[in-house]
Structure 1
Amino acid sequence: MLHRKTITFKITTAVTLLTIIFSVLISVVFYNNFRKLLINNMLEVTEGQIRLVMDNLDEQLKQINGIIEWATINSDLGTLLVMDTKSQEYDGEMLEFIRKLNSMVSSSTVNEYIDKVIVYGENGASIQIGVVPGHGTDVENCMNQEWFKELQEQEKAWIGIVDNRFRYRSTSHMLPILDKVYNYKEKKNVGWLMVALNSNLPYEGIRKYGATEDSSVIIFNRKGRIIAHTNKDKIGTYLDNKEVLKTIYAHSKGQLTLDIESEPRQAVYYQSPISGWCILKTLSNIEIEKQQQVFINIIVLTVIAIMALGMLLSIILSYFINKPIKMIKNKIHKISQGDFTVEPKIESLDEIGEIGRVINHMSMDIQELMDTVVANERTKRELELKVLQTQINPHFLYNTLNSIKWMAVIQKNMGISEVATALSRLLKNMAKGVSEEITLQEEISLLNEYILIQKIRYNNSFEVLYSIEEGLESYKIIKFTIQPIVENAIFHGIEPKMKSGMISISIRKEKEDVLICVKDDGIGMSPEKIEEVLSQKGKRSKEGLSSIGVSNVDERLRLTYGEDYGLTLQSIEGEFTEVTIKIPLRK
C-alpha cells in the first residue's frame, strides 16, 4: 500500500491528475475540431456528388442538342418541309429522312427517355417518332401550350419540366426543347422540331445517389419548379422559399443554410452551364450523428489509452530513484565480464553519481594495467622471435662452406669469390636483426645473394624469374620476409622433384596493399601439408638459412601489420605451390 509521504505516491498522484486534465482538454478540442472538419468534408464530398450528377445530365442533354442541331440544319429536312406533299419525290424523301432520324435517335444513350420527336413544316408535313406513339392531335395540342410559345421565343433552350398534354404519354410531366428548321435555299425558317424527354431522366440520375430519410436531392429551374426530387411526389411542384431561389441563382455554386422544419440544415448547390438548372442537396443530420458517434467512441478509447499510459508512466517514474543504482550495478557486472569502457551516464550530479565517477576511474585504471601487460607480453614475444630468427643454422653454413671448398678444387674460377661475398652480405644483414623494415629493393638484393648460393649448390637446377611493378621498389617490407618462402620452394618443391624447376616472383600493387607471389613448379602440397606448414607443426629444415619458417613469417606479418595481412597458400600436388604475401603499401 502506498504511503502519502513517499516519492512514489507523489509521482503517481501527479501523473494521474495531469493525465486526467490532459485527456479532458484534448477530448474537447478534438471533438469541436472534428465536427467542423466533418461538416466541411461532407460538404466537399456532397458538392462533388451533385456536380457529377449534373455533369452526367448535361452530357445527356448535349446528345439531345446534337440530334436537334443535326436535324434542323439538315438541308434534306428543310427541303421536305417546303415540298409539295403530293409529289412523287416527297414520300421517298420523307421515308429516307425518317430512317436517318430514327438512326440518330436510336444511337443515343438516352434513346429510351426520348418520348417524342415531332417535326412540323409550313407545308403541313408532320413527323412523329419516339418511345410513345404519336396522335394526330399532338401537333395542334403542342402548339396551343404556353410552354411552346416560351420555347419558340428562347430558341433551343431547356425551360424545365412541363405538364404532359399529349394523348399518349408515359408520365404526367416531360422535358421539352424546340428549335426552328431553316431552309438555306429560301433563306427562312420553314418549320420546327420539338423533342420531349421523359421526366424520369433526371430522376434516375439523382436516385443513384440516394439520400437518407432526413436529406434530399432536388433539381429545379429558375422559376423554382422542381424537375427531379428524391421524393417523386414533389416532381412538378414549386419551391416555397423564393429568397433562397434568388440566393442560389446569384451564384453558380455554393453552400447555404436552410431552415427545414425549424431546424437549420447545411445544403450544397450547383448550377448547370448547359441547361441553367440547379441541383441542391441537404446534408443528413443522421449521417453526421453517426460519424460523430464513431469519433466519440475513438475519443473514449483514446482517453482510456492515455489513462493507461499515464498509469504506466507513473509506475515507471516510481522506479526512477532506483535507476542510478541499477546502472552502477550493471557497470560493475560489465567490469567483471571484462568490459572496461567508460560510461558517462552513471556520473550524475548527486552522491550516487560520485560513486559512478569513482567506478569509471577504476575501470580506466584496470584497462591501462591490462594494456601494459599485453604490451609487455608482445615485446617479450618479439624478443623471443628475434632470438629465434637470428640463429644461423650450422648445417647451412657447413653446406655453404663445403660448396666453396669444392668450387676451389674443381672449378678454379671466380665463383668462390661470388659465394663468399654473398655469404658475407647475408651474415652481415642477419647480424643486424630481422625485425627492421627495409625497402623492397633491398629485400630483393638479399634474396638474390641467397639465390646465388643455392644455385651454385644445386648446380643451377632451377631458375628465378622476377615480375615487379614499376615504382614499388621504395616501399617497405620486414627484412627476410621473401627469403624463407623461396627457401621453402627450393627445399620442398624443386629439390624433391629431382629435375630442373622454375620459381617465379611477382610483386604488384592492389589498392592500398602490396601482393608478393612466390610460385614454384615443384611437387606441390596436399591441403593437410598446407595446414601443417601454416600452423608451425612442421619441422624446420636443418639446411635452411635460419630458423625462420613459413609460419614464423606469417606470424611476424600479422603481429606487425594486423590480422588482415600475412600469407595465403595455394597448391596442387604434382603441379605447383603458390604463396601470396600481403603487406600494406607504405614507405
Structure 2
Amino acid sequence: MWQALKHNYNKIQKRISDFKIGFKIALFYLMITIISISVSSYLYQKIYLNVTLSKVSEVSVQTLNSISSNIDLMMDNVNNYSQMVIANNDLQEALRNGSIYLDLNTQRRVRAYLIQLIQAIPSISSVYIFDQTGNKYSVGNLSANNFKLNSIQEAVWYNEVIKANGAYILRLNGEGAFEIDPDKNFISLIRVVRDLESIKPIGILIINVPEQAFIQAYSNILNNYKTDIVLLDEHNKSIVKKSESNQYDLNRILSKFNNQKSGYKFEAIMHNKYLVSYLKENKYGLKIVSFMPFKELLNETVTMIYIGVIIILINSILLFIGSIFIARMITIPIKKLLKSMKGIENNEFNEVKIKAGNNELGRLRDGYNIMIQEIQKQIKNVIEEQRIKRKAELNVLQAQIKPHFLYNTLDSITSLAISERVEDVCQLTDALGSYYRTSLSNGKEIITIKEEIELVKNYLIIQKIRYGEMFSVTYDIDGRVVNNKILKLVLQPLAENALYHGIKAMGEPGSIKISAKYDNHSIRLIVEDDGVGMSTEKITNLLGKGNESTNDSFGIRGTIERLRIFYGQEDLFRIESKPGSGTKVTITIPFNVHDNEGELR
C-alpha cells in the first residue's frame, strides 16, 4: 500500500513538474484566491446575517409596540364613547323610568344620538342597551351581531360586569351572548349603566367592535417580510377569524415566552423557520404575536451579502490578474517563439517579434528570424515558378475550348446551308459574328458578367435557329452583378452541355434557365435544364474526381479547370442532378473582382 501511495505521489509530482511556468504561477495564485474568497465570504455572511437578524428582531418587537399603541388608541376611543353614551341625558332619563320604551320622544333622541355615534366611529359596528326590565334597544349592524339570549341575566359574564362597578369588560363575540358569524369575529365592550345621581345600576351597555377595526390597526405598519399577525384575547383566542393562527401551534409558542411581556425567538413550524415576536398588552389584556418567515429575512440580507462577496471577489480577481500579468512577463517571449515554430507545421513562416535585449533569448530570436527570411525567399521563388506554369496551362486549356465551340457552330451553319435555309444562315452568321466580337474583346481573357451573358445569348440564338422548338431559354440576371469580372467562356460550355447532353438526349422539348444572383458577398452563376440528368458517377468524372474522360465532357471539365486555376479554389463548382430529373450547375465566385489586365491571382 505504501508503495502504491508513493507511486501515485511521484506520478502527480511529475505531472505538476511538466506544467508550464505561467500555469504554475497562475495555479498557485488561483488556489490562494479560492481559499481567500471562501473563508472571507463565509465569515462575512455569518457576521452580517447575525447583525441583521438582531436588528430585524428588535424592529419586529418595536412594530408590535406600534400595533399595541394603535389598538390601545382605538379601544380608548371606544371606551370614551361608551362613557359618552352612558352620560347622555336622554338615555339616563329613559333608563330611570324603568323602560326605554315608555317615552317615544326620548327613544327617538337616543336612537338619533347612537346612529350619529356609529356613523362617526367606523370602529363600532353595533350598540346594545338593556334596561332593568329586560328590554333591549339596539342600533347598528344587527344582522352580524344578533343577540340570542332571552334575557341579559342569562349571559355568563352578567354577574362579573355587575361586580365591576361601572368598569368595562371585554369578551370575544360577547362570549355566547350573540350569534356567531362564521366569517367574522368582534370584541364586545360591556359595562353597567349607572344613574349619575344615585350611582345605582339602571342598565347594561354593550358596544361591539368588529375584527376589521383591529386589522386596520396593524395593516398599515407591517413590514415587507410577509409577516402574519395574530391577535389573542385574554383566553388566547384569536380575535381575527381568518388569521393564520391555526397553523402555528399557538399554545406551544406562547409557552416559550412564559410570563414575559415581550420578546422574540426563532422557531421551526411545519418544516419552516420563523422569527416569532411576542407582546402582551397590559391595558386590555390582549396578546400580539407576529410570525416572520426566516427565508424572507435571508432575501433581505442576500443583496448586501452579494455585494460583500462581489467586493471580495473583485479584489481576488485583481490579485489573480496581477499574478497572470507577472507570469506573462516571463512566458510571453517564450510562447511567441514556440508559436512561430508551431506555425511552420502549417506552412506559416513568420518572423517572431520579441522584446528582448542582447541576451540568450535575443540571439535565439535573431537566428530564428534569419532562418525564416531565407525560407520565405525560397517559397516566393517556387510560387513565381508555379504561377508561370499555371498561366501556361490556362492558355492551353482556353485555346482548346475555343476551337471546340467553333467546330460545333460551323457544323450548324453547314446543316442550315444544306437545308437551303438562307435567311437562317444569315441570322446565324450575324449571331456568330456578334459572338466572336464579344469573345475576342481585344485579346482580354477577363470580361464582365454582362458580356458573358451576351456571349451565351448569341450562342443560344445560333442553336435556336438550328433546333427550332426543341428548347426554350429564360434569364434571371441580378443587376448588382452585371459589372463583376469573370473568366471569358464560362457559361457557354455549360449551356452547350445542357442543350446537347440534357435536352437533346431526352428526345423531346425542354427548357434552359440561366441565372446570375448576388448572395452574401458572392455571385452564384446557375445553368439548369429539365433534361435527362446524369448519374453520380458521371458527376464525379465531370468534377475531375474520376478516371473516365470523354470528348463530350471535355468542354465542361475544361471550364472547371480554368476556374480552379484562376481563383485558386477547389469548391467553386457544384453539380446537382439525378437521372430523369434534369441538371443544375452552380458556379460561386467572389463579388467585386476587378482585374482589367486578365492576370491570374
What is the TM-score with the length of structure 1 in the denominator? 0.52
Relative to structure 1, the CA distance from residue 370 to residue 191 in structure 2 (aligned partners, 3 Å threshold; closer, same or farther) is farther
Matched, 1:84 2:84: no
Unaligned runs of 5+ in 1: 1-7, 107-124, 157-174, 184-188, 220-227, 231-267, 280-309
Q: Which residue of 2 aligns with 1:354?
A: 362
Q: Which residue of 1 aligns with 2:57?
A: 46
Matched, 1:338 2:346: yes
Relative to structure 1, the CA distance from residue 95 to residue 373 in structure 2 (aligned partners, 3 Å threshold; closer, same or farther) is farther
Which residue identity is paired with 2:342? K
Matched, 1:462 2:462: no
Q: Which residue of 2 aligns with 1:491?
A: 500
Relative to structure 1, the CA distance from residue 452 to residue 70 in structure 2 (aligned partners, 3 Å threshold; closer, same or farther) is same
Matched, 1:479 2:488: yes
Please, what is the CA RMSD of the aligned residues? 6.5
Retained in 2: the 8 A contact 1:386–1:434? Answer: no
Q: Deviations over 1:306-365 (max 9, x none)?
A: xxxx9x99x999999985786477447514533647697854457244146436635753
Give the 3-state SS of the residue equivalent to 1:474 in structure 2. coil
Give the 3-state SS of the residue equivalent to 1:465 in structure 2. strand
Retained in 1: the 8 A contact 2:340–2:352? Answer: no
Which of 234, 238, 243 in structure 2 is aligned with 1:198?
A: 234
> How many angstroms apart in 1 are the aligned matches of 2:478 and 2:327?
68
> How many angstroms apart in 2 are the aligned matches of 1:439 and 1:386?
19
Q: Deviations over 1:554-581 (max 9, x none)?
A: 4544655575973333334324222233
Retained in 1: the 8 A contact 2:527–2:584? Answer: yes
Which of 574, 578, 584 in structure 2 is aligned with 1:578?
A: 584
> How many angstroms apart in 2 are the aligned matches of 1:527 and 1:467?
27
Which residue identity is paired with 1:553? T
Matched, 1:524 2:533: yes
Q: Which residue of 1 aligns with 2:244?
A: none
Q: Deviations over 1:86-129 (max 9, x none)?
A: 9999699756869x9997599xxxxxxxxxxxxxxxxxx97685
Q: Which residue of 2 aligns with 1:505?
A: 514
Unaligned runs of 5+ in 2: 1-20, 103-129, 171-186, 196-201, 209-231, 239-248, 266-276, 289-318, 595-601
> How many angstroms apart in 2 are the aligned matches of 1:209 and 1:370?
94
Q: Deviations over 1:55-75 (max 9, x none)?
A: 665687689679869988699
Q: Deviations over 1:394-435 (max 9, x none)?
A: 666555445444544541625445545555565676667998
> How many angstroms apart in 2 are the aligned matches of 1:339 and 1:398?
46
Retained in 2: the 8 A contact 1:347–1:357? Answer: no
Matched, 1:438 2:447: yes
> How many angstroms apart in 1 are the aligned matches of 2:567 and 2:165?
111
Retained in 2: the 8 A contact 1:422–1:453? Answer: yes
Retained in 2: the 8 A contact 1:324–1:353? Answer: no
Retained in 1: the 8 A contact 2:57–2:264? Answer: no
- Compute the displacement of 1:482 (Å): 0.8
Matched, 1:143 2:143: no
Relative to structure 1, the CA distance from residue 191 to residue 449 in structure 2 (aligned partners, 3 Å threshold; closer, same or farther) is closer
> How many angstroms apart in 1 are the aligned matches of 2:157 and 2:452?
119
Relative to structure 1, the CA distance from residue 572 to residue 335 in structure 2 (aligned partners, 3 Å threshold; closer, same or farther) is closer
- Compute the displacement of 1:478 (Å): 2.2
- Compute the displacement of 1:50 (Å): 0.9
> How many angstroms apart in 1 are the aligned matches of 2:435 and 2:69?
106
Which residue identity is paired with 2:537? E
> How many angstroms apart in 1 are the aligned matches of 2:475 and 2:514?
5
Matched, 1:385 2:394: yes
**Equivalences for 1:53-132 in 2 at 5 Å?**
53-54=64-65, 81=95, 84=98, 94=135, 104=145, 129=155
> How many angstroms apart in 2 are the aligned matches of 1:86 and 1:45?
55
Relative to structure 1, the CA distance from residue 205 to residue 62 in structure 2 (aligned partners, 3 Å threshold; closer, same or farther) is farther
- Compute the displacement of 1:506 (Å): 3.2
Q: Which residue of 1 aligns with 2:458?
A: 449
> How many angstroms apart in 2 are the aligned matches of 1:582 and 1:316?
47
- Compute the displacement of 1:487 (Å): 1.1
> How many angstroms apart in 2 are the aligned matches of 1:318 and 1:511?
45
- Compute the displacement of 1:486 (Å): 0.3
Which of 555, 559, 569 in structure 2 is aligned with 1:553?
A: 559
> How many angstroms apart in 2 are the aligned matches of 1:40 and 1:229?
15
Relative to structure 1, the CA distance from residue 453 to residue 442 in structure 2 (aligned partners, 3 Å threshold; closer, same or farther) is same
- Compute the displacement of 1:484 (Å): 1.2
Relative to structure 1, the CA distance from residue 84 to residue 506 in structure 2 (aligned partners, 3 Å threshold; closer, same or farther) is same
Give the 3-state SS of the residue equivalent to 1:492 in structure 2. helix
Which residue identity is paired with 2:234? N
- Compute the displacement of 1:375 (Å): 6.0
